[in-house]
């Protein structure tokens, strides 16, 4: 089964914010991505508003609703974010731990230690019909504790796999993801994946871990779009999520 591609548009918002004004517009980029075959769109709204802002969340949620596409909102446990997710009835909310000052997300939730943080939020969201996911490291032994929070899905943090590409570590990192995915399904959850996935490493992941139903891809996709164009890039990532080998642009 192919992985459904959800395009993370944070980097479009970051580029807009670096200059001010409204260009490039995440909403326009979102339309292009959906027209090119993306299954859905993702935004991670951080408290510092360094890329995505609340008005972006509202606009992209409305677009996805119009198109019948999935909208995945990511973020930490702050109340304004949870309240916005409930107000907009997002398709999926992915809880992601945030460390102040981090450039990007670099670790998953630690369970059962952080159970009391996650479980009440999951309960609130699920009561409103919102699918929930938790961002986790590929640790198969932790999956029963993740399931105990009531979350519907995990999102496996795939940076260790991505950074091992072309090294002897690759086999071990892929094995960790495979075992984590299997353990998650055995515990009653579905499996998403994300972080540093690109045109080179996504096809192997899609072929090797059939439990993955959705991948959120942002940085590499937007970077590739600088060379290939956004619509062409999305089309290639859709194929990569099917496990097909696709040409990646030369970036160095």
Q: Is 44 a catalytic residue?
A: yes
User: CA-CA distance, 147 to 183, in Å (whole number)?
Assistant: 10
For the question of whether the overall pTM of this predicted structure is more than 0.85, the answer is yes
Task: Write out the DSSP string of 42-75.
Answer: EEE--TT-SS--HHHHHHHHHHHHHHT-EEEEEE
Q: Report domain extents, the chain.
A: 4-240
Catalytic residue among 44, 159, 173, 214: 44
74 counts as catalytic: yes
Report the distance separating Cα 192 and Cα 101, nearest Å: 26
Out of 51, 159, 195, 214, the active site residue is 195
Catalytic residue among 70, 74, 159, 214: 74
pLDDT tens for each residue of the chain, 252 residues long: 689 999 999 999 999 999 988 999 999 999 999 999 999 999 999 988 889 999 999 999 999 999 999 999 999 999 999 999 999 999 999 999 987 766 677 788 999 999 999 999 999 999 999 999 999 999 999 999 999 999 999 999 999 999 999 999 999 999 999 999 999 999 999 999 999 999 999 999 999 999 999 999 999 999 999 999 999 999 999 999 999 999 999 776
Q: 3-state class of 10 per DSSP?
A: helix
Quick one: 4-240 is in which CATH superfamily? Aldolase class I (3.20.20.70)
CB 184 within 8 A of CB 190: yes
């Amino acid at each position: 089964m192919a992985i459904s591609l959800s395009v993370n548009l944070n980097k479009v918002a970051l580029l807009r914010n670096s200059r001010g004004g409204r260009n490039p517009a995440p909403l326009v980029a979102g339309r292009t991505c959906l027209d090119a075959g993306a299954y859905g769109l993702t935004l991670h709204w951080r408290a510092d508003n360094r890329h995505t802002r609340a008005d972006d969340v509202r606009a992209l949620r409305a677009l996805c609703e119009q198109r019948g596409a999935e909208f995945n909102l990511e973020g930490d446990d702050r109340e304004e974010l949870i309240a916005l997710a409930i107000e907009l009835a997002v398709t999926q909310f992915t809880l992601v731990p945030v460390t102040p000052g981090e450039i990007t997300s670099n670790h998953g939730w630690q369970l059962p230690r952080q159970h009391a943080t996650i479980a009440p939020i999951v309960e609130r969201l699920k009561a409103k019909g919102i699918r929930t996911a938790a961002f986790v490291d590929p640790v198969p032994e932790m999956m029963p504790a993740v399931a105990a929070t009531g979350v519907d899905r995990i999102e496996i943090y795939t940076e260790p796999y991505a950074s091992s590409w072309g090294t002897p570590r690759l086999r071990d990192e892929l094995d960790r993801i495979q075992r984590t995915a299997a353990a998650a399904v055995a515990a009653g959850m579905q499996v998403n994946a994300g972080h540093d996935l690109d045109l080179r490493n996504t096809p192997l992941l899609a072929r090797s871990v059939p439990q993955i139903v959705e991948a959120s891809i942002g940085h590499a996709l937007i970077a590739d779009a600088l060379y290939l164009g956004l619509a062409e890039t999305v089309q290639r990532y859709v194929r990569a999520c099917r496990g097909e080998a696709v040409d990646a642009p030369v970036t160095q």
